[in-house]
Structure 1
Amino acid sequence: MSAICFYFQVHQPFRLRPYRFFDVGRSHNYFDEDMNSSIIKKVAEKCYLPANELLYDLLTHYKGDFKVSFSISGTALDQFEKYAPEVLASFQKLVDTSHVELLAETYAHSLASVASKKEFRTQVRQHVKKIYSTFGQHPKVFRNTELIYNDAIAHQVAEMGFKGMLTEGADRVLAYKSPNYVYRAHPASDFGVLLKNYKLSDDIAFRFSDQSWSQWPLSVDKYIQWLNRLPKQHQVVNLFMDYETFGEHQWADSGIFRFLQELPAHVFSSSDYAFIHPSEALESFEPIDILSVPETISWADEARDLSAWLGNNLQKDAFDSLYKLRKKIRKCDDQEILRDWQYLQASDHFYYMSTKDFADGQVHKYFSPYPSPYLAFINYMNVLSDFEIRLSRHLQTRARSIKHNQLIKKLIRDERLSTEKVPVKIREVI
């Protein structure tokens, strides 16, 4: 029997406020509270709350026969806690049904996997800890930011103890192969890979309400027919998409919620498919081949590579400027600075700097809060300039404090000064 694996990405970045050159060195307030709050509340009303309510009804009605999976970035969870606790509660209610699997990712939905192995591991561990503390579930499967993947990343993720990970079923990687199987990561190991069926996923996520599409309108019956035409020996059809597909990218009046509501019943009555979690797919199906991906792929843009975030000199300059600070960051113990460091790593900041044209360019513009990629770059670099100054000042102060404390302790050790004779103020420093 073939299976359907439904996976949804949930992510919101902390968007930056307009930050001018004259703010550098004067203000450490980087994030636009009003914008972030209003966007979370808007998307909650249009997508998260109604979609979660619908999924809850489906999950409880089918009592485990219908299953879905999510990855929820740390920055999204932080914003739910801050701006929309009812959304967080609704996700917790879904997970409590025991029919939802949560996946791990980078805490800040960052590009750390292509920048720093240490930072990558740190963020993944932090995200795993956050998922467990919030939902009581320990992720078994990993999905990297925007399904970014290559052989080296897969090796790192396997070393962290995950069973497998998700990525894009890119044509240039698969060639003649199908994405509807479980694969083994290269080099041969017990680490499995699940590939997005981008055509069937994007029929829902991108084309559903496109009236110029030859298949519009998309009905559940038509979609089931497409599934039934796939070869019977195929193992798992991976339908991976942004959760905001439901209600935000595809508005409610498009019929997207009705489509989701009716899909399970039609799958059960008109096909031989079952629904499955990613970890179950990796356990249930034997990998048919080794997947070798020496060059990095993702699920973004037509190129399905890193060009959505690192495709021009603006993006590369901002990226390099950010990650050159990582050695200093490792010496930092200021929690606010460390929090801002993570939020500044969100891949969205680099996505806004894209200068692509045509269809890809329109998608970038849709998500960007900036009038142009150049303003996105200038704003980000202004913030980063202040952040670097702030970090350096903190490390200087910390170094002086450590040196001062070491000197006093040495004096006491050398018995040049006894503890009893040390003035109260100095003992407090020690």
Structure 2
Amino acid sequence: MKTICLYFEIHQITHLKRYRFFDIGTDHYYYDDYENERSINDIAERSYMPALNAIQEMIEKSGQYFKVAFSLSGVGMEQLELHAPQVLEKLQELNQTGCVEFLAEPYSHGLSSLVNEETFKSEVKRQCTKIEEYFGKKPTVLRNSSLIYSDEIGATVADMDFVGMLTEGAKHVLGWKSPHYVYHCAMNPKLKLLLRDVRLSDDISLRFANSDWEGYPLFADNYMNDIASFPEEEQVINIFMELSALGIAQPLSSNILEFVKALPECAKQRGITFSTPTEICKKIKSVGEINVPDTLSWVDEERDVSSWLGNPMQREAFNKLYSVADRVRIANDPRINQDWDYLQASNNFRFMTTKPSNVGLDRGIYASPFDAFTNYMNILGDFINRVNDLYPTDVDNDQLEGLLTTITNQDEEIEMKDKEITRLQAKIEKIEKEVAKLRAEKPEKPAAKKTAAKKAPAKRTTAKKAAEKPAEAAEEK
């Protein structure tokens, strides 16, 4: 029986403000608050809320036949918390249906998996904690930023005890193989891989409203007929896209939501089910490994990382940012950590691309890739100065980590001693109370002794009289 794995990504970049060279050292706030609030409210109104309401309706009307998965970046959730909390509340409502799974991903939606394993692991763990706090369950399947994957990244994810990972069903990786099977990581077979069906996903997210497309107009029954026509042994159909595709990339006026809402019934009529990623990873066996020695993603025709690292400007910015990755992690300063998350977001590097793309790229405040690079590097220059100012720059990372580990151990030892002191103080207070109670009872005991003393002479007098009586009897004789 065929099953569809439908997944949506929710991510929102934190927009940077115009930052001049002369601001370095004087202005440590890098963000355009007005644009952040405007953009998140716009996307929530035009896409997120209508789409989530439609998904809730699909679950309720299908009698929980329909299932779906989401992943949210940590920086995106922070923007929603500040400006559009209704989106998170709606996701919590959907979570209560039992038909929704939330996946793990890097907190910053950044590219740390390409360069710094410790940073990548730390980000994923933080995001898992945030997802668990909101939805009550720790993620078991991971989705890396923009579906970035390689054999080495897969091995790292497997070591973190995830059962599965989503990635792209790229032609240059699959060759003659089909994306409609479960595969596993070449370096660790326990990590299962779900590969996106590029055509079926892009039919909805990129081409649905394009009247010049040969498949226009696309109807739900035809879409499901296409899926049902796949060979019987091809059981897993992975359809992955951004949630903003429903309402932004494909406007609501195109009837995109009506199309999506018709999918569960059309699937049910053809015996096609819906499953979450974890359900598929647990129920369906892998048919073999996928070898991905070079990194792939779901962006552009090349399906690689050239959209973020394809030109010298991007690589310079990337290398300079991650040159302080270990120092940021070791120092663990709250304000630095927050800026680190926002500066890592992959969109910052995407704005610098010089590649032509079949997907429209909105550069925001930037007039050109060089403009984006210059603004970012000015901010990065100030940020790195702040990182280096935390501790002397002549102390290398190993020395700094050793020093901070010692400080941490001392802090833990002091904390333990403080707890012991608190315990002993409580014990002393208890003893003092008992002593005070005993002292309060002492006056009664002397009074008892005095009474006994009074009685004692009476006994002695009686004894004396008893001794005198025999003496008197002797005289009489």
Provide the TM-score with structure 2 as the length reference. Answer: 0.81
2:337 aligned partner:
338
Separation of aligned partners in 2, 1:272 and 1:179: 20
1:382 aligned partner:
378
Give per-residue Cα distances to partners, 1:237-287, cap 9 Å, x unaligned.
000001101011100001101101111111112x12100000111112111
2:228 aligned partner:
228
Separation of aligned partners in 2, 1:367 and 1:3: 38
> Aligned with 1:314: secondary structure?
helix
Instruction: Work out whether residues 188 and 290 of structure 1, in 8 Å CA contact, stay in contact via their aligned partners in 2.
Output: no
2:71 aligned partner:
71
180-189 vs 41-50, which deviates more? 180-189
Indicate how the Cα distance of structure 1 residues 219 and 367 shifts in structure 2: closer, same or farther if over 3 A, else same: farther
Amino acid at match of 1:343: Y
Runs of 4 or more consecutive aligned structure 1 residues displaced over 6 Å after TM superposition? none
For residues 144-293 of structure 1, what are the structure 2 equivalents within 5 Å? 144-187=144-187, 189-269=189-269, 271-293=270-292
> Aligned with 1:208: secondary structure?
coil
2:307 aligned partner:
308
Q: 5+ residue gaps in structure 2?
A: 411-477
60-69 vs 297-306, which deviates more? 60-69
1:373 aligned partner:
369
Instruction: Work out whether residues 184 and 288 of structure 2, in 8 Å CA contact, stay in contact via their aligned partners in 1.
Output: yes
2-11 vs 326-335, which deviates more? 326-335
329-338 vs 230-239, which deviates more? 329-338
Aligned-residue offset at 1:386: 0.6
> Aligned with 2:294: secondary structure?
coil
Separation of aligned partners in 2, 1:97 and 1:284: 21
Separation of aligned partners in 2, 1:188 and 1:128: 22
237-246 vs 180-189, which deviates more? 180-189
102-111 vs 331-340, which deviates more? 331-340
Separation of aligned partners in 2, 1:353 and 1:283: 40
Separation of aligned partners in 1, 2:59 and 2:364: 34
Asked if 1:121 corresponds to 2:124, the answer is no
Give per-residue Cα distances to partners, 1:385-429, cap 9 Å, x unaligned.
0101112222249x99x99x99xx9xxxxxxxxxxxxxxxxxxxx
Aligned-residue offset at 1:141: 0.3
Separation of aligned partners in 1, 2:388 and 2:16: 21
Instruction: Work out whether residues 197 and 237 of structure 1, in 8 Å CA contact, stay in contact via their aligned partners in 2.
Output: yes
Instruction: Work out whether residues 112 and 119 of structure 2, in 8 Å CA contact, stay in contact via their aligned partners in 1.
Output: yes
Amino acid at match of 2:148: I
Amino acid at match of 2:369: P
Instruction: Work out whether residues 68 and 101 of structure 1, in 8 Å CA contact, stay in contact via their aligned partners in 2.
Output: yes
Amino acid at match of 1:388: I
Separation of aligned partners in 2, 1:42 and 1:207: 22
Separation of aligned partners in 1, 2:210 and 2:364: 21
1:420 aligned partner:
none
> Aligned with 1:195: secondary structure?
strand
Greater Rg by CA: 2
2:27 aligned partner:
27
Separation of aligned partners in 2, 1:181 and 1:291: 11
Instruction: Work out whether residues 148 and 167 of structure 1, in 8 Å CA contact, stay in contact via their aligned partners in 2.
Output: yes
Instruction: Work out whether residues 332 and 338 of structure 1, in 8 Å CA contact, stay in contact via their aligned partners in 2.
Output: no
Give per-residue Cα distances to partners, 1:212-238, cap 9 Å, x unaligned.
101111111221221122111111100
Aligned-residue offset at 1:343: 1.1
2:348 aligned partner:
349
Amino acid at match of 2:58: L
1:419 aligned partner:
none
Separation of aligned partners in 1, 2:254 and 2:272: 26
Instruction: Work out whether residues 155 and 188 of structure 2, in 8 Å CA contact, stay in contact via their aligned partners in 1.
Output: no
2:441 aligned partner:
none
2:96 aligned partner:
96
1:414 aligned partner:
none
Give per-residue Cα distances to partners, 1:287-342, cap 9 Å, x unaligned.
11111111111000110001010000010000000000113213323201111011
Separation of aligned partners in 2, 1:88 and 1:244: 15
Amino acid at match of 2:324: L
Separation of aligned partners in 2, 1:299 and 1:369: 25
| Matched-pair identity in % | 40
Separation of aligned partners in 2, 1:66 and 1:279: 15
2:387 aligned partner:
391
Separation of aligned partners in 2, 1:184 and 1:93: 33
Instruction: Work out whether residues 20 and 379 of structure 1, in 8 Å CA contact, stay in contact via their aligned partners in 2.
Output: yes
> Aligned with 2:179: secondary structure?
coil
2:135 aligned partner:
135
Aligned-residue offset at 1:369: 4.2
> Aligned with 2:250: secondary structure?
coil
Provide the TM-score with structure 1 as the length reference. Answer: 0.90
1:40 aligned partner:
40
Instruction: Work out whether residues 150 and 296 of structure 2, in 8 Å CA contact, stay in contact via their aligned partners in 1.
Output: yes
Instruction: Work out whether residues 10 and 72 of structure 2, in 8 Å CA contact, stay in contact via their aligned partners in 1.
Output: yes
217-226 vs 160-169, which deviates more? 217-226
Instruction: Work out whether residues 158 and 188 of structure 2, in 8 Å CA contact, stay in contact via their aligned partners in 1.
Output: no
> Aligned with 1:79: secondary structure?
helix
Amino acid at match of 1:351: R
Separation of aligned partners in 2, 1:290 and 1:367: 38
Instruction: Work out whether residues 182 and 193 of structure 1, in 8 Å CA contact, stay in contact via their aligned partners in 2.
Output: yes
Q: 5+ residue gaps in structure 1?
A: 410-430
Give per-residue Cα distances to partners, 1:334-360, cap 9 Å, x unaligned.
201111011100001001100012x34
> Aligned with 1:344: secondary structure?
helix
1:84 aligned partner:
84
Separation of aligned partners in 2, 1:164 and 1:155: 11
Amino acid at match of 1:252: L
Indicate how the Cα distance of structure 1 residues 129 and 64 shifts in structure 2: closer, same or farther if over 3 A, else same: same
Asked if 1:318 corresponds to 2:314, the answer is no
Indicate how the Cα distance of structure 1 residues 135 and 82 shifts in structure 2: closer, same or farther if over 3 A, else same: same
Instruction: Work out whether residues 235 and 285 of structure 1, in 8 Å CA contact, stay in contact via their aligned partners in 2.
Output: no
For residues 45-64 of structure 1, what are the structure 2 equivalents within 5 Å? 45-64=45-64
Indicate how the Cα distance of structure 1 residues 166 and 335 shifts in structure 2: closer, same or farther if over 3 A, else same: same
